[in-house]
Copies of this chain bind each other. A is one copy, B any other.
């Protein structure tokens, strides 16, 4: 491959997938371009031609990994459903995600790098956390209008309480499986005023 030749998107995707996997297994500090190249089945030079530093590559890999993750219900479903119905419909998928080893491993690594590599948290925040917060916030506002969430509740803090509890529970010793997480989420959403 010579300079200026168009990049092969499949090679890029293989490198990004490998970088995400190595990051989740070993953290930023434990990952190296060598390991990532080996995992992707390419030479080190192929990686270095595309990314100058492993931190940059890992941030883009996290973004790539999360690209298709947000599944928002269609606007007409949101419009004709109550907050309770929307939460009930989302419960199974949230429980499966929050109990999955992949979510736990990625969330742990991203939180783990929050202080040493804030650029990774920024990417995770923008592509994963923020769209979910906006959905939660909109739900809480409607629940507040319907009176199941207190009129004077601070919705940003309540969003932190919900998201914080799920993440925190998932990373505690002895984390629940999908069934346990479903039960946990029911209690949590009830407490927040999002389930009866």
Interface residues of A (CB under 8 A from B): 25-30, 101, 104-105, 108-109, 111-116, 118, 121-122, 125, 153-154, 157-158, 160-169, 171-173, 184, 187-188, 191-192
Contacts and interface: CB of A to CB of B under 8 A. Distances in A.
A109 B173 CA distance: 15
Interface of A is mostly: helix
Contacts of A160: 164-165, 168-169, 188
Given A30-B27, A30-B30, A116-B27, A163 B168 contact: yes
A167 B171 CA distance: 12
* Residue of A113, A153, A161, A184 contacting most chain B CB atoms (<10 Å): A161
B165 A167 contact: no
A116 B162 contact: no
Given A113-B112, A114-B104, A169 B164 contact: yes
A118 to B, nearest CB: 6
Given A108-B112, A163-B168, 12 more contacts: A26-B29, A26-B116, A27-B27, A27-B28, A27-B116, A28-B30, A111-B112, A112-B112, A154-B191, A158-B191, A161-B161, A167-B168
Nearest to A153: B191
Nearest to A191: B157
A109 B116 CA distance: 9
A169 B164 CA distance: 8
Contacts of A25: 116
Contacts of A154: 187, 191
